[in-house]
Structure 1
Amino acid sequence: MPASLSNYLQRRLLKWLDRRVPASHEHHLNVNSIFILPSGFGWSFIILSLCLFLLGTNYQNNLMLLLSYLCLSIMLLTLFYTHQNFARLALKATPPSPFHCNLQGELQLQVIPHAAAPTKTCNGVLAIKWLNTVRPMDTTAHASNENISVAQQTYSFSLNDNEVTDTKQTQTLSVPLPIPVRGRFALGRLTIACDFPLGLYKCWTHLDFDQQVTVYAKPQEGPVTVNKVASSNESDSVSQVNDLTSNEDFYALNDYEVGQPLNRVSWKHVAKNGNWVSKSFTSLQSDSFVLSVPSNIDVETAVSALTYATLSWTGADRVFGIQYKGLNIAPAHGVKQMHECLSALACLNSHSSQASSTSNKTVSISSIKNERARSTK
């Protein structure tokens, strides 16, 4: 099948699913969201029943006819029970944590009680795979974007029978999330299937949990320029701290003045020679730096180098900011600063002249691939 026709059919399927099974953080399966057909083993069972019926009528063998009717009744009973079991499934998604594109993220799905049958649970083994890992863009400019070319691997999860174990703990299913490029993406639909109890029928559904994830760039050491930010009191590298709540290092002993807190008094010296002295502490003023990369460096190499530097400087608990191609992040430190820098670098577009550290725009996959191709040229 040509690629254009395949993309067209997939877009039509996704639009139809958006109307029939809308996106939601929590899904309780019902008639509109469940599809069921005989499995390969089920079709073989049906053909066997037909052959038994033809042989029984041809040779007028009542036992063979009875066996064919028995097989037919098993097929009908399994049809209703398989659908009823799968209709008890209810899933809730938690927001996925950011991860680097050279690693593999996870989407956490919680199996929760169904609204229509809270005391009954779905049994069997769930087969889960991504119908499309990333939701395609709605704009006409990206209408022909292709999904990420990753292997559509199926993941199996065995459901716990809470009625038997008498536990009310929520089961969590960790679905791997393979996205090999950086950016901020809206996750696509998951195909969830089950063939309990006999495997004669396969029930499945396509669910969109309306989740977004930020994929950080691959950290790789590179040419990063470090520029120190000048401060107004840069000459005072050490300042005395007389705050009661300070936890800084000891600096010197000074004469005690009336009104100073008693916990700063050096009682050892008072007991030794009767001199009242107070302890003073120091606070080293941390310098601020701005990380940047020369403009002649490839964009992906620069982003990877800045990502590596962000992780390194955060681990050393240093104050830093980033300045690169319109991206300006003020110096700060801590985990919040790290995630802000990594998110801004992940969403940085090479052909964009403006970039913001608080941008939440969804990045097109095909545009990133085209940028990488142009950069290599």
Structure 2
Amino acid sequence: MTSAIARTFYRLAGGNKTVPVVLGLRNIYILPTGYGVLYLAVLGAMLIGSINYNNNLGFLLTFLLGSLGLTAMMHTYSMLYGLRLVSVTATPVFAGEPVEVDLRLADVDRPRTGLCWYFKTTHRIRADFRPRQPARVLVGARAGRRGLFDPGWLRIESDYPLGLFRAWARIDTGLKCLVYPRPVSAPVPGNTTVSANQKGDIGQTEGVEDFVGLSAYQPGDSLRRIHWQAYSRGRGLHVKTFAGHAGAGLMLDFDDIKGDDTERTLSILCFHILQAHHQRHSYGLRLAGQTFPAANGRVHRDRCLRALALFGNG
């Protein structure tokens, strides 16, 4: 709640825009660093000494160093000014895994050096960009719990070239990354099969009866089904696919898994969904108020995992 109020106030103040955004006068800030404050203090002492002793060489050195600091400040500000952030995306992950936030920028118009990208609780990623080339930055974050993960404000900083000033901007990316339950291995309940007439005619489903052909290998496929002859001929990794008229499919029911820990139950369901998908079995899912008929494929898997991730979150 506090974070939402802070973001609303920040937008009303004109200091923040959601993606896509162009960094400019309204959302870039600059202040001297610790070294910068010391530098300004030394310049002030030099100016006072030059006035006190009416020393022309002192004036010359003071103004020379002052102009150097001013030039460094303008260069620091220009590293962020005009930067165009066009998209922010993230691939769904499992709870506890690192999230890679993909930041894409429009073509960079000039060299930009020493830009640091990070979220509040993550390490800084330093990146340099060349002109007239699309730019991309991967910033890591860590998802703690299942649901919709909000990494918070994106911070962009630069203290190039002398480290005397630090320019920064904060962007509300509006990113909501889907976080699935962490898979937990546990036995499948005994009453999790559903007959074909209960889930409709599924026709040809993958099984172990008749050889159908070869399909491209996907991570998680059984090594026993790899067609090594095709691999030895330089055709890449393929797996043998079998089909048959399956009379039953796997129906995973939230209520069939005994236990008071909801998160563990969701994790067990997540594990068996992944297993069934990797083994190319037909499966369905039944949650409170939701039923997904038995099917297979990547779209079906993602739909079921999304339901697990958002379970109980409205």
- Give the aligned partner of residue 84 of structure 1: 78
How many Å separate the matches in 2 of 1:317 and 1:291?
15
Contact 1:123/1:161, CA 8 A, preserved across alignment = yes
RMSD: 3.0
Pick one of 7, 14, 17 that aligns with 2:10: 17
Residue identity in the other structure for 1:106: E
Structure 2: distance between partners of 1:79 and 1:233:
71
**Displacement after TM superposition at 1:283 (Å):** 5.4
Contact residue 16 and residue 27 of structure 2 kept, 8 A: no
Paired position in structure 2 for 1:53: 47
1:190 counterpart letter in structure 2 = L
The residue that corresponds to 1:203 in the other structure is 167
Cross-structure match for 1:66: 60
Q: How many correspondences in the alignment?
A: 275
Q: Residues 30-59 of structure 1, C-alpha deviation per residue, up to 9 Å, x if partnerless?
A: 111111111122111101111212232334
Matched, 1:284 2:244: yes
Say whether the 8 Å CA contact 2:141–2:151 is kept in structure 1: no
Aligned residue identity for 1:125: G
- Judged with a 3 Å threshold, the aligned counterparts in structure 2 of structure 1 residues 23 and 77 are, in CA distance, closer, same or farther, namely closer
* Aligned equivalent of 1:93: 87
Instruction: Check 1:41–1:211 CA distance in 2 against 1; reply closer, same or farther (3 A cut).
Output: same
Higher-Rg structure is 1
Find out whether 1:310 has 2:273 as its counterpart.
Answer: yes
Q: In 2 relative to 1, CA 13–38 (structure 1 residues): closer, same or farther, beyond 3 Å?
A: farther
Determine which of 177, 182, 189 is the counterpart of 2:153. 189
Partner of 1:43: helix, strand, or coil? helix
Deviation at 1:342, TM superposition (A): 1.0
Q: Taking structure 1 as reference, are residues 318 and 73 closer, same or farther at Cα in structure 2, changes over 3 Å only?
A: same
Cα distance, 1:283–1:160 mapped onto 2, change above 3 Å? closer
- So what's the TM-score if we normalise by structure 2? 0.78
- Is contact 1:123-1:196 (8 Å) kept? no
- The offset of 1:14, in angstroms, is 2.1
Q: Which moved more, 1:104-113 or 1:307-316?
A: 104-113
Q: CA deviation at 1:187?
A: 4.6
Query: Offset of 1:185 from its aligned partner?
Result: 3.6
Aligned in 2, Cα 1:75/1:11: closer, same or farther, shift over 3 Å? farther
User: Is 1:220 matched with 2:209?
Assistant: no
Query: What are the Cα deviations for residues 332-373 of structure 1, in whole angstroms up to 9, with x where unaligned?
Result: 101111111111111112xx8xxxxxxxx5xxxxxxxxxxxx
What SS does the aligned partner of 1:102 have? coil
1:317 Cα shift? Answer: 0.4
Alpha carbons of structure 1 residues 195 and 189: separation in structure 2 relative to 1, 3 Å: same
Unaligned runs of 5+ in 1: 1-6, 115-119, 132-151, 163-167, 240-245, 250-281, 353-360, 362-377
Q: Percent identity?
A: 22
Letter in 2 for 1:158: A
- The 8 Å contact of residues 216 and 342 in structure 1, kept in 2 or not, is answered as yes
CA apart distance, 1:190: 0.5
Q: Which residue of 2 aligns with 1:117?
A: none
1:1-377 equivalences in 2 (<5 Å): 13-19=6-12, 20-113=14-107, 120-131=109-120, 152-162=121-131, 168-225=132-189, 226-232=191-197, 248=212, 284-286=244-246, 287-292=248-253, 293-349=256-312
In the alignment, structure 2 segments of 5+ residues that lack a partner are 205-209, 214-241
Higher normalized strand content (fraction of residues): 2
CA distance in 1, matches of 2:300, 2:100: 23
Inter-partner Cα distance in structure 2 for 1:336 and 1:216: 15
Q: Cα offset for 1:112?
A: 1.3
Q: CA deviation at 1:314?
A: 0.4
In the superposition, the TM-score normalised over structure 1's length comes to 0.65
